[in-house]
Amino acid sequence: MPIASRPDPAALRMCRCIIVGDRESVWNILSTNCPIGASAGTDSENPLTRTYIIRIIKPFAKAKPLERFRRDMHLTPERVEAEYEWVRRRAPTVVPIINDTRKRLGTLFETEVDGVSAATYKREVDAVFADGEVAVNVAGYVGLLRELDVEDDYPGFIVDEILGRELASTIAGGQPLALLAQATFHFADVHTHGEKGDRAGVDDLDAALAAGFQTRLPGWDWREGDSPFAIE
């Protein structure tokens, strides 16, 4: 297969655009160097006019740009702070789920579990986001779930479930609370339903926040005293 003696400037520009996902620029370069309807033989010295290149690159170039998705998924300290504020403002939705979940679990395990107030929830949100390593990951999960959706709420779509249980365990902390939070997430998720028109990830996000914070907050008798397995 013939290869140009030196890299074509247009080809290099196109490669850079492909690497960063700039589809619109790729399409503009192709349109300028190889207009639709122009002859494109495989023996051309211009790599942009080779049939195999056009066949591969044009579908990529004509697709929707990825810039919006890249920007939404870019985490900065400012973005983490914005997600922190959103989680705090979510108290009117999350706190009732926490208390409903605790009541249901208390009935199942035949025990009384203390309720949680909005003020207590917000203080615990502050504590979670005060740890930068935890905060950046919690913010990432929250941001993904807030934007995540799937066509026709497809039943086989499980990405929101995976993200939800990982968010719950990250909020709860290390073991055994992490695993307990994951189990609680699936329990709470069954009873958590979003508003009509919400994205697929929103109800999983609410259930994950409720599961994670209810697990790490006090109120369970078994966590109040010393463990019988502790070695003095």
* CATH number of the domain bearing residue 101: 1.10.3760
Least confident of 29-38, 73-82, 166-175, 184-193: 29-38
The answer to whether the CB of 219 falls within 8 A of the CB of 116 is: yes
Percent residues over pLDDT 70 in the chain: 69
The answer to whether the CB of 147 falls within 8 A of the CB of 79 is: no
Residue with tokens 């930068």: 132
Same domain, 138 and 51: no
Q: Which two tokens stand for residue 67?
A: 């810039």
What is the band of 155 on the pLDDT scale with cuts at 50, 70, 90?
confident
The domain tally of the chain equals 2
Distance set, CA 33 to CA 1, 60, 225, 231 (Å):
20, 16, 75, 75
Q: What is the C-alpha separation between 82 and 225, in angstroms, rounded?
A: 37
Full domain range(s) for residue 122? 73-218
Same domain, 176 and 207: yes
Residue 229 lies in a domain: no
Of 173, 179, 176, 206, the closest CA to residue 190 belongs to 206
The whole-number average pLDDT for the span 183-205 is 86
pTM score of the predicted model: 0.69
Same domain, 79 and 63: no
Of 11, 186, 19, 30, the closest CA to residue 105 belongs to 186
pLDDT of the residue at 200:
79
Same domain, 43 and 96: no
What is the band of 87 on the pLDDT scale with cuts at 50, 70, 90?
very high
pLDDT of the residue at 30:
54
User: 73 φ, ψ to 5°?
Assistant: -100, 10
The answer to whether the CB of 8 falls within 8 A of the CB of 46 is: yes
The answer to whether the CB of 146 falls within 8 A of the CB of 87 is: no
pLDDT of the residue at 199:
82
Between the two ends of the chain, the Cα-to-Cα distance in Å is 75
Same domain, 50 and 113: no
Continuous H helices in the chain: 9-20, 23-33, 51-62, 67-72, 77-89, 91-108, 118-130, 132-147, 159-172, 177-190, 200-216, 221-224
Mean predicted lDDT score pLDDT of the chain: 80
Q: What is the C-alpha separation between 115 and 110, in angstroms, rounded?
A: 16
The answer to whether the CB of 110 falls within 8 A of the CB of 80 is: no
Residue 232 lies in a domain: no
Same domain, 115 and 182: yes
Where a domain ends, among 36, 67, 98? 67
Same domain, 131 and 36: no
